[in-house]
Every structure is written in C-alpha cells, then in structure tokens.
C-alpha cells in the first residue's frame, strides 16, 4: 500500500516567537511509519516539529501549523491507499496572529481563537469509495481519539461521525510515553484492547489491521 501518516503536534502562532501547542511527542506516528516500511509499504510522513528521528525510507513532509498540515494532506491524499492521522492537530488557532513580538505590559490579554479545519472529517468525506470498475472502498482512513473519560463511547462516535474505517482510542497517559494502553474499533467488529504495549508493537498491530481492511476492500 501507499500509506500517508501524520505525526507530531502542530504549532499555532500567537506572534513570531510564541505559539499554542500540545504535548505530543510524535512517537506514535513515527512508530507507524517504521512499522509500515518494515511491512513493505511506501510511506509519506507528514510531520510537525518533533525530536523523533525520521525513517530514512519514508518521504518526509515537514509542516508546523494545522493549516499547513491540512494543505499537505490534501496534496497527498488522492495518491494514498490509507491515511493514518496520528498527529495531534490543534482544534483552534489565533484569529489574528501578531506580526511582531507582543511586548510585556503587565496587563491582562485576551487572545481570540477560531476553529481549525477538521482534517480527519475532511478525509472521511472525500475518501474514494467507489469506482466504475470496482464497487468497493478504495481508501482507508484511520483516526486517533485521545479521551479522558467515556473513551469507547466518544471514540465510537468519532468513528461514525467522521466516516472512518478504524479508530484508535487512548488516554492522556499515552502522550510522550514509550508504552501505553489502546483500544481499536473497526465498524461492525468488536473492540480490540492492547495493554502496556510499546508503541512499536501497537504500530505493528495497527498496520496489520489496515492490511486486512485493504485485502477485504478488494475482494
């Protein structure tokens, strides 16, 4: 397969030196890229800034902001068989970033935010579902759901609302950790639970499941 993977946490700039971001390390996305390459797939890795070392065989696309990540996904999406959105994309971005560094005044300051584009929802809406020759799914879209409560309920809602083929649910404890607990759901299948596993092992399982989805797609 040609697999498109996103990784890392985006930066939404307030001014040229300050930004809103999150604690994503990029470990999961990079582990997925390595697992996909090891399984023989072609990988394009769209990555926000991270300290992770990129796999040499992957095509690397560097971005910083949610808007840049969206543009990169749009550019490469039509040529992929599977998109795995492992990046922690900001939900909001400043309405009017300052062009110069904001000076300290000692007074309170309010920053107005606006929603960013929901990249995962866009992909679920625009994935190729049918062709003239083969009436079957042509692209697989995998999303992640990081939830601090009602994990399965919220993840399953995301799976349905965003028209995904797979959702990987985890908790905030997974951020930056080498090992984590995850739960995976594919429509019309039971939950798959993986506990205290390395991100390399989790990535291998996710790639294996996408391979199975890809095979059933073309039966």
Active site members: 22
Please provide the DSSP assignment of 122-182 as one string.
Answer: HHHHHS----SS--S---EEEEEEE-SSSHHHHHHHHHHHTT-SEEEEE-GGGTT-SEEEE
* CA neighbor of 100 nearest in space, from 19, 14, 21: 14
What's the rounded Cα separation, in Å, for the pair 46 and 65?
A: 12
8 A C-beta contact, residue 66 and residue 90: yes
């Amino acid at each position: 397969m040609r697999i498109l993977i996103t990784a890392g946490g985006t930066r939404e700039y307030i001014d040229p030196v300050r930004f809103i971001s999150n604690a994503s390390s990029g470990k999961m996305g990079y582990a997925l890229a390595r697992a996909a390459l090891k399984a023989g797939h072609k990988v394009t890795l769209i990555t926000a800034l991270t300290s992770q070392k990129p796999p040499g065989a992957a095509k690397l696309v560097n971005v910083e902001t949610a808007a840049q990540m969206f543009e990169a996904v749009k550019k490469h999406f039509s040529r992929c068989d599977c998109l795995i959105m492992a990046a922690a994309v900001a939900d909001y971005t400043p309405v009017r970033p300052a062009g110069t560094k904001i000076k300290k005044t000692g007074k309170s300051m309010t920053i107005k935010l606006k929603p960013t584009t929901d990249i995962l929802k866009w992909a679920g809406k625009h994935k190729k579902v049918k062709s003239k020759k083969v009436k079957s799914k042509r692209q697989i879209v995998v999303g992640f759901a990081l939830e601090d409560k009602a994990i399965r309920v919220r993840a399953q809602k995301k799976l349905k609302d965003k028209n995904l083929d797979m959702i990987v649910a985890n908790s905030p404890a997974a951020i930056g950790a080498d090992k984590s607990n995850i739960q995976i759901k594919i429509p019309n299948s039971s939950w798959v639970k993986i506990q205290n596993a390395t991100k390399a092992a989790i990535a291998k399982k996710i790639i294996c499941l996408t391979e199975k989805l890809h095979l059933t797609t073309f039966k």
